[in-house]
Amino acid sequence: MDIVVNVEGLKKNYGKIQALRGISFHINKGEIFALIGPNGAGKTTTLRIIATLLSPSEGRVKVLDYDLKKEPEKIRESISYLPEEAGAYRNLKGIEYLSFMAKFYSPDPKDIEKFLERAKGIAELGDRLNDKIGTYSKGMTRKLLLARALMTRPLLTILDEPTSGLDVINSLEVREIIKRYVKEGTSVLLSSHNMLEIEFLSDRVALIDKGIILDVGTPKELKEKYNASNLEEVFREVVR
């Protein structure tokens, strides 16, 4: 099985604070891999390093066989990152925003048209794409942002709290979109506090706390190993 991301001994220091203390894991092609843990565990720091937004203090990261320290620009060409706090330009129409973002990936009008057609299918916002984003609900905005993240068919998509603040229906729709597009060849690195979401989406899960990965496995393996009925109970047992 092809490995899309390989992390070895990754450390990140913010002054005297050790956010990551030498973590190692890998993500397989076509896999949804999740990082779960409490606030301050190191999840978002890990995602931002792999997205090339932060530099590691120590360790080695390879994404799609490119070394993160030596070839970050090559990595950026084939990945997409959707942070929890991401927003869109409220005064632009949805379709204008998608067109604007598509031009960052290719100057070719034919490519841009393909990206936009794919984005329309992902967002499923119909005629509302012709309305200003400032009139969108939270769920609609999140679908638009997810469409932006997936429209180029990135080889790796990094999602930080993809359904944060959404209601049950919108959360389900966003999860189904992610599942559907993984089948088309995208691998996903995911972080979420929603354990139901993690169980629904993830092929494998890494439990992280205080900058250390405590265990890795499929949701089923982890629940069986710790005699737990859900991942929240698993995490409680692992931390103990």
- In a domain, residue 202? The reply is yes
What is the extent of the structural domain holding 196? 1-78+158-167+189-240
161: nearest Cα among 52, 23, 35, 31: 35
Does position 1 have pLDDT exceeding 70, yes or no?
no
Per the structure, the count of domains in the chain is: 1
H or E element in which residue 52 lies: none
pLDDT of 180: 87
- In a domain, residue 55? The reply is yes
- In a domain, residue 57? The reply is yes
94: nearest Cα among 114, 119, 118: 119
The CA angle 234-214-43, to the nearest 5 degrees, is 95
pLDDT tens-digit readout, 2-59: 999 999 999 999 999 999 999 999 999 999 999 998 888 999 999 999 999 999 999 9
Average pLDDT of the segment spanning 160-182: 89
- In a domain, residue 98? The reply is no
- In a domain, residue 213? The reply is yes
- Domain at 73, CATH number: 3.40.50.300
- Residue 162 · residue 192 · CB < 8 Å: yes
Exposure b/e, 12-44, CB count within 10 A at least 16 = b = beeeeebbbbebebbbeebbbbbbbbeeebbbb
pLDDT of 240: 75
- In a domain, residue 175? The reply is no
Rounded distance, CA 17 to CA 93, Å? 42
pLDDT band for 236, please (50, 70, 90 cuts): confident
Pairing of strands 156-160, 17-28: unpaired
Does position 165 have pLDDT exceeding 90, yes or no?
no
pLDDT tens-digit readout, 84-102: 888 889 999 999 999 999 9
- In a domain, residue 48? The reply is yes
- In a domain, residue 45? The reply is yes
Answering whether pTM is above 0.75, one says: yes
